[in-house]
Structure 1
Amino acid sequence: MVITATVTEDEVTRIRITPQKHQIGLPHAEATTGRIVPIAHDESSRVDFGAEVYGIDLNEFTDADFEFISDALHKHKLLVFKEQREMLKPQQQYRLTSSFDPEETTGGFAHGHDPYLTSHNGVDFYGTTKRPALPDQPQVHILGRGLLPEGHFGFPPGFEVQGIDHEEFHLPPHIPMEEREAGASRFYQWHFDGSLYNIPPPRVGCLLAVRIPKGPDVTVRWEDEVGTKMKMAPGATAMIAGSRALALLDEETRQVVFNSRIKYAPHAFVWMSTAHSSKLGHLIETEGLEKPLDKLPKWEKSKVCVYPMVWTNPKTGEKSLQVHGQGALKLYLKNRPDGEETVVEDLAEVRAFMDRIMRPVLRPENIYAHPHQEQDVILWYNRALWHSITEFPKSYGPRVVHQCNVAASDHPTG
């Protein structure tokens, strides 16, 4: 691939790309019309990722556009596509997402098969009330909360998406409802997308903003001893770079994570469903409430995921601390490649270590929460960022977003 870049005075980068080979299934073009504008973060921010993309219609993107997008995503880790002429079609959202993994041939949803949900006008719908799938493209799901637009992809009249509620998952005491309706919020769950069992985690995630809640910024609370909090747009998805998380560790701990692995619980989300999350959304509280392994849906030892703690960006070589604190079951710790391995099985000790490596980055200055605008498309590199949804007052109206992530063809190997 040949890249020629020029930077104008307004810091807009235009890149001409000539693909070495055509992206399978995409219209061919000799060059892209895309241009990149890095997101300008506040002076107090330590966030170093994110860019806006202009000049590409995702409903008609070409192979040259995709090469541009892929390079930009691996560099910036989060892309926001602006000025789309119309809502991104589900088929194009799936095409964009799946193009990042041409070796993946099953086209499967990253969390496995969806259950039957309902039927309307002879059409069967699958998923759950919190994550229904679009019948036109079942890899694309609806997330958010509230009433769907009338006739939205054939869903029954009055269909409402059931949103997150930290009272259902977080350790009490919870934020009182009157304070939540006044704009108090929490991070629900810090994670990368993936089932954590059998199915490889997606390379990318993609969101289309269909309906966005309207109202003042919410105030996300840490509810720690010093009252840490930050403001962000209602319905925003908060993001953190795993590279920043890695950089904030002391040298001794950094050597441990470079050489260590995590064993995740089989059917991890079923396993943790009877337990409580920490108030910060990064760990499960150790109360002995996890569903016993012998009470989980049938699982096989060979399909349990054991992943390195540090993952490498294949295009830039950048290293990221990429961990899911809530799903961790067992740790295999080493401080050098040829060092002696220590196995940690006690859940309290596992979580103490996960808190040690995750909490340093969980600070306002390291978090970016993009203020979605309707029709915007958000694309992120799922193997380098953590993210969490946040709550917002019901009085702000519905949040309706289309999400697409596709199981990868490979598991992370470091």
Structure 2
Amino acid sequence: MSTTTETVLDGYNDETSSILLRSDPKETSNGRVIPIKHPVSSKVDFGAEVYGIDLNNFNDADFDLIHDALHRHKLLVFKEQPAMLEPQQQYKLTSRFDPDNTSGGFAHGVDPYLTTHNGVDIYGTPSRPAIPDQPQVHILGRGKLPDNHYGFPPDFEMKTVDHVKFHAPPHIPDDEREKGASRFYQWHWDGSLYNIPPPRVGCLLAVRTPKGPNVTVRWDDGTGTEMQVAPGATAMVAGSRALELLDDETRNIVMHSKIEYAPHTFKWMSTARSTRLGHTLETEGFEIPLDQLPAWSKDKICIYPMVWTNPLTGEKSLQVHGQGAFKLYLKSSSDGEETIVDDLAEVRAFMHKIMRPVLSPENIYAHNHQEQDVILWYNRALWHSITEFPKSYGPRIMHQCNVAASDHPSG
């Protein structure tokens, strides 16, 4: 379907959408946006599939449609792509959501040197190497890369992250993992949590996906909760749903409160261990002391509201990172008295209180990646987590792009 070119949002239909655009009247988009139909038992209300747009050749009218659809649906799945999305186009798509951004840097800062091949330096880490020609695009997953993959050495093998290295025990035994027992690794939104503003959007291309039956994700928190998901699925929940599920008193508090994240957050927490559900850290005193971290300054500490607002729709979302939380500033009204919580055990107890209600199967969408499909999500309204799968299912190779924003969230 073609689109006309008048006012943004007029003409939007929730079944198959066409949006009147800001772009050059000479350009049109053939894009079609179809909301994902979730099971009747599901409480998930986000996500849409997009057809008719070739992301390697999108125009201004296509982007206007994508921009408005993403803010409304929060997750877009681009189907029937005629070819793999090129890294340069993936960066172009992702960075365009922030026209005020002149730096265009990777959302976690400068990558370390990794290796050299054919005279080309490759940066990143074994679990997240950057593509040399477009270093804001990183490769994620596990297993060998395809041959001649963007300048990487032959037989380059991705090293995955897994819960045994990160979660506190008891861990799932290896034999049960190989039979399909799985976990959520870490519930989060993308961002460095120190100095660098978190991305507005994230973008993921499925290059290789594991092949095998569904896996069983275990909560392992004493509730006996489990969920069947496709192998290698990315799990997502909406911050708006998380906010909705809070009791009135707690919701009122988070609407007026802020979180301070630790300096060099991921370095600080690198020696700590996650809870088994992957939403907070165990309080064991294993964090790196602040005076042993790389040099840091108070003016680069990130202090964010707990609730963020979608600039297009006005929808409010609970957007918190439970593992990086260092200090809380709690208020029950805009002019109310502020309570500062700096005991980590108390901080994490509060984070559990506000995050755990939404982390139930009916609120989780586990996206089943199909090779060559691209997903784009609004990073300031969703949380996500990878899920584990048996190594025998084969490689999971993904290209991810997220770009540091020009602004920090302000509520």
2:181 counterpart (180, 184, 190): 184
Aligned partner of 1:321: which letter? L
Secondary structure of the corresponding residue to residue 256 of structure 1: helix
**Residue of structure 2 in register with 1:65 after alignment:** 62
Aligned partner of 1:309: which letter? M
2:108 counterpart (108, 111, 114): 111
1:374 aligns with 2:371: yes
**Residue of structure 1 in register with 2:71 after alignment:** 74
1:348 counterpart (339, 345, 348): 345
TM-score with structure 1 length normalisation?
A: 0.96
**Residue of structure 2 in register with 1:13 after alignment:** 16
Over residues 283-302 of structure 1, what are the superposed CA-to-partner deviations in whole Å (9 max), with x where a residue is unaligned?
Answer: 00000110000111111110
Over residues 205-238 of structure 1, what are the superposed CA-to-partner deviations in whole Å (9 max), with x where a residue is unaligned?
Answer: 0000000000001100001223100010111110
Contact 1:17/1:32, CA 8 A, preserved across alignment: no
**Residue of structure 1 in register with 2:166 after alignment:** 169
Unaligned runs of 5+ in 1: 23-27
**Residue of structure 2 in register with 1:262 after alignment:** 259
**Residue of structure 2 in register with 1:249 after alignment:** 246
1:313 counterpart (310, 313, 332): 310
**Residue of structure 2 in register with 1:233 after alignment:** 230
1:150 counterpart (144, 147, 150): 147
2:40 counterpart (35, 39, 43): 43
Contact 1:264/1:304, CA 8 A, preserved across alignment: yes
- Displacement, 1:18? 3.2
TM-score with structure 2 length normalisation?
A: 0.97
Task: Measure the CA separation in 2 of the matches of 1:410 and 1:360.
Answer: 29
1:384 counterpart (381, 385, 394): 381
Unaligned runs of 5+ in 2: 1-5
Task: Measure the CA separation in 2 of the matches of 1:132 and 1:207.
Answer: 15
Aligned partner of 1:15: which letter? S
Contact 1:29/1:62, CA 8 A, preserved across alignment: no
- Displacement, 1:32? 1.0
**Residue of structure 2 in register with 1:54 after alignment:** 51
Task: Measure the CA separation in 2 of the matches of 1:77 and 1:106.
Answer: 25
Secondary structure of the corresponding residue to residue 150 of structure 2: helix
Task: Measure the CA separation in 1 of the matches of 2:234 and 2:21.
Answer: 34
**Residue of structure 2 in register with 1:25 after alignment:** none
Structure 2 CA distance for partners of 1:288 and 1:248, relative to 1, 3 Å: same
Aligned partner of 1:113: which letter? V
Task: Measure the CA separation in 2 of the matches of 1:382 and 1:29.
Answer: 32
Secondary structure of the corresponding residue to residue 18 of structure 1: coil
Task: Measure the CA separation in 2 of the matches of 1:70 and 1:395.
Answer: 38
- Displacement, 1:29? 5.0
- Displacement, 1:13? 1.3
Structure 2 CA distance for partners of 1:76 and 1:16, relative to 1, 3 Å: closer
- Displacement, 1:30? 2.3
1:217-228 mapped onto 2 (5 Å cutoff): 217-228=214-225
Task: Measure the CA separation in 2 of the matches of 1:363 and 1:380.
Answer: 20
1:300 counterpart (293, 297, 302): 297
1:88 counterpart (77, 85, 90): 85
**Residue of structure 2 in register with 1:125 after alignment:** 122
2:404 counterpart (383, 396, 407): 407
Over residues 273-329 of structure 1, what are the superposed CA-to-partner deviations in whole Å (9 max), with x where a residue is unaligned?
Answer: 101100000000000110000111111110000000000000000000000000000
Aligned partner of 2:305: which letter? P
Task: Measure the CA separation in 1 of the matches of 2:305 and 2:221.
Answer: 30
Runs of 4+ in 1 over 4 A off after TM superposition: none
Contact 1:217/1:234, CA 8 A, preserved across alignment: yes
Percent of pairs with identical residues = 73
Contact 1:164/1:391, CA 8 A, preserved across alignment: no
Secondary structure of the corresponding residue to residue 15 of structure 1: coil
Aligned partner of 2:327: which letter? K
Secondary structure of the corresponding residue to residue 355 of structure 2: helix
